């Protein structure tokens, strides 16, 4: 598939997914290159893990300004497909409360 600026990505690629604070959806970036590849409404990952960069978190706390420092790393399965409500897992992260996803 083609993404932003014709950057190619495909299902099975290892990606980082983070909340896009401007559009309200999610953003996908390549885990290897750290380049942004697409904006999506929903995303399905497998073999995923939640990551928070501690130096990035400290910068947010110190500057009181949002930045991308927390994301989900996993293998891309699908994007923008409707999922049954029982299939959806919502997670929350607030850097001013905790260093972890909840």
> Which candidate, 3, 72, 7, places its Cα nearest to that of 33?
7
Per the structure block, which two tokens stand in for 23? 């559009």
Which H or E run includes 56? helix 54-63
More confident residue, 98 or 73: 73
pTM: 0.85
9-62: per-residue pLDDT in tens? 889 999 999 998 888 889 999 999 999 999 998 899 999 999 999 999 999 999
């Amino acid at each position: 598939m083609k993404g932003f600026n014709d950057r190619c990505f495909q299902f099975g690629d290892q990606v980082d997914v983070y909340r896009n604070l401007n559009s309200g959806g999610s953003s996908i970036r390549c885990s290897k290159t750290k380049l942004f590849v697409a904006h999506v409404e929903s995303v399905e990952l497998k073999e995923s893990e939640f990551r928070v960069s501690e130096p990035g978190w400290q910068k947010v706390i110190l500057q009181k300004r949002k930045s991308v420092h927390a994301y989900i790393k996993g293998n891309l399965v699908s994007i923008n497909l409707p999922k049954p409500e029982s299939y959806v897992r919502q997670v929350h992260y607030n850097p001013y409360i905790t260093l972890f996803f909840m």
